[in-house]
Structure formats: C-alpha cells, structure tokens
Amino acid sequence: MMNGRPVAEEDLHAYVDDALPTARRNEIEQYLKLHPEISVKVEAYRRQRDDLRARLAPMAEEPIPPELNLARMIAARHRPSRMPLWRSAAAAIILLGTGGVGGWAFHGSMAPQLTGVAALAQEAAYTYSVYSPDHAHPVQIKATNRADLVNWISARLHSQVVVPDLSKAGFRFMGGSLVATPQGPAGMLMYDNDHGIRIVLLVREMYDNIDMNTSKMLPYVKGPVTGFSWAHNGMGYSLTGAASPDILHPLANDVRAQISPTI
C-alpha cells in the first residue's frame, strides 16, 4: 500500500484489541491482506487474546465469597469499633506510599482536608488512639513533673497552658506530651479514672484563621472514640476519649470553663 500513515506495531495491537477508529482499521485490514506473514502474526496475537479470555472467563463467574459482600461491608463500617483508628491511619500511610492511587482522580483523598476545629478533633482522635493504649509510656512527662511539662508545652505553643482539674469527675492528671499535627506542635494532657478509662486533652494554636473563636462544642464520634472540641482566642482544645458523650460533654464544658472563665 499505502498512501496513509505508515503502519506501526502499535496499530497491529490496537487492531487486535478492536481499538482502532474505523478508517484506520480499514487501512490496517488492507495492509494485512498485502502482507500475509504479518497477518499470520496478528492472527496469532488475536488467537492468544481469544484463548486467554475463554480460559479466564469462568473465573469471573464464580460465586462471590461472603467476606466480599459489599452491602455487609458498608453496614459493618457504620457499626462502631469495626476498624480501630490506628488501622485506618496505617492504611492511609500505606496508600501514600503506593503513589498514583490518590494522584489520579482523587486529589487530597488520602488526607481529608479538614480545617479549623474539625481538623483539631481528628488530630485529637489520632493522638488518643496512639497514646492512650500505651501501658509503658503513655506520656512523655508524668504528672509528678507537672511544672516542667507546663513550661515546656507553653513555650512550644507560645501560650500559657493550663492543666484543668477533673478530680471532681474522678479523673486524675497523668501527665502529657508534645505531639505532632499537620498544623504544628500540640500539647497532649492525659487523665485516667479508677476504671482505667483514659481521656486526653489536645491543645494547639489555630493556624488557618478558621474557627479562631468557636466556643460552641463540636462533637466528634468515630467508632468508640468521642470528642468535643472548641477554640478560644486562637487556641484550640479537644477533649477526646472512649467514653460516652453523656460523660464527655459535661467534662468538656468543665474544662472550657476552667481554661477560659470568660466564655
């Protein structure tokens, strides 16, 4: 032949896959008629493709096992405590490592772009789920070195940190740590009660000019973890733990009143 574009190997494979526009397809058919040795090759590719499809077709007709029942998987998600927070965090980290997954149609889907108090609430939940189960070293500095802890965290947060007293509700101050958030350093203060229930108060500066003063409590519930978060004078606070909202909400109100008596 041919008056048209020269035939590329790619054309032959696209021909095998029926992926050519009609005009090009006709050209290739003409070409193959004139070149029987290449036509034999293309036929071999085509037969290989057909054979593979035939061999693998039964696999796509097998019954789906119960653990891949989508409706049940969705229902299970809405049941509390199905997947520990650390596992979803770990999954997110793995996905970040694989690349391509998020880049392609889902910008930002790896790390939901929360802002303001909502972001703080999520950070508090992660912090809680990482540090509260730790039996050996739940806090970096224990309550016995309270002054050290308060000075250190206050310096890092550029703001005087107050350690609220929750003893009336049966919670003792255990100590605290400096933790990392996407927004910078945060102070974590941990408390526990006689039943071994731990709660954390996360404190950090509000950076993004959103929710700098949100005295209204923002509730956060994910699985067993509950949190109440607010902001005052550019500082954000979140009281978070595996306790029911009935217990945690009045405690959060108490904390807010102790830190910011003016609200």
Partner 1 sequence: MKNDIILIVEPLIPHLRRYARVLVRDQAGADDLVQDCLEHMISRWHQRRADGNARAWAFTILHNLAVNAMRQKSRRGEHTPIEDADESQFAQGPSQQEGLYRRDLLKGLEALSEEHRSVILLVSIEDLSYAETASVLGVPIGTVMSRLARAREKLLVWMEGATPVASVPPSGTVNLRRIK
Which residues bind to partner 1, rule: CB under 8 A? 9-10, 13-14, 16-17, 19, 44-45, 48-49, 51-53, 55-56, 59-62, 64-65, 67-68, 70-71, 73-74, 77, 83, 88, 91, 94-95, 97-101, 103-106, 108-109, 112
Smallest distance, partner 1 to C-beta of residue 42, A: 10
Smallest distance, partner 1 to C-beta of residue 22, A: 17
Return the number of the residue (69 or 215) whose C-beta is nearest partner 1: 69
What order do you get walking across the sheet with 184-192 strand by strand? 141-142, 172-181, 184-192, 198-205, 235-241, 225-232, 214-222
Smallest distance, partner 1 to C-beta of residue 63, A: 9
What radius of gyration, in Å, describes the C-alpha atoms of the chain? Answer: 30
Return the number of the residue (59 or 136) whose C-beta is nearest partner 1: 59
Give 20's Cβ-side CA count (13 Å radius).
18
Pair of tokens at residue 241? 């733990």
Return the number of the residue (78 or 135) whose C-beta is nearest partner 1: 78
- The maximal CA–CA distance of the chain, rounded, in angstroms, is 94
Return the number of the residue (60 or 136) whose C-beta is nearest partner 1: 60
Do 117 and 236 touch, CB atoms closer than 8 A? Answer: yes
Smallest distance, partner 1 to C-beta of residue 67, A: 6
Residue reference for tokens 């733990």: 241
Q: How far apart are CA 206 and CA 210, in angstroms?
A: 7
Return the number of the residue (100 or 261) whose C-beta is nearest partner 1: 100
Range 147-151, long-range pairs (CB < 8 A, 24+ positions): 149/175, 149/176
Smallest distance, partner 1 to C-beta of residue 52, A: 6
